Amino acid sequence: MADKTLVCQDCGKEFVFTEGEQKFYAEKGFENEPKRCPECRKTRKQQKEALKEDKGEFTLLFFILYINFIAVLFYIPFSTS
């Protein structure tokens, strides 16, 4: 297995998918090559973590109200903090 040069789908820059990384991916059972360069992967991971922090924890309350034999459903987010 030789190093491969790939193109990042986010920034368009070329990056090297090393032989060691390829072995790691194979050991983990990953079938696809990475689509993003290491910098874009790091940025994307940080964005996902920030979204998780912003959302916080909440419970979804579910109500059914019957009006003239018609069920009306309500979903109300309730913050646990």
- Judged against a pLDDT cut of 60, whether residue 81 lies above it is answered with no
Which class for 17: exposed (0-12), middle (13-18), buried (19 or more C-beta within 10 A)?
A: middle
Element (H, E) at 12: none
Average pLDDT over residues 37-66: 77
Question: Between residues 13 and 58, which one has the greater pLDDT?
Answer: 13
Which class for 8: exposed (0-12), middle (13-18), buried (19 or more C-beta within 10 A)?
A: middle
pLDDT tens readout for residues 5-49? 999 999 999 999 999 999 999 999 999 999 999 999 999 998 887
Output the pTM of the full model: 0.59
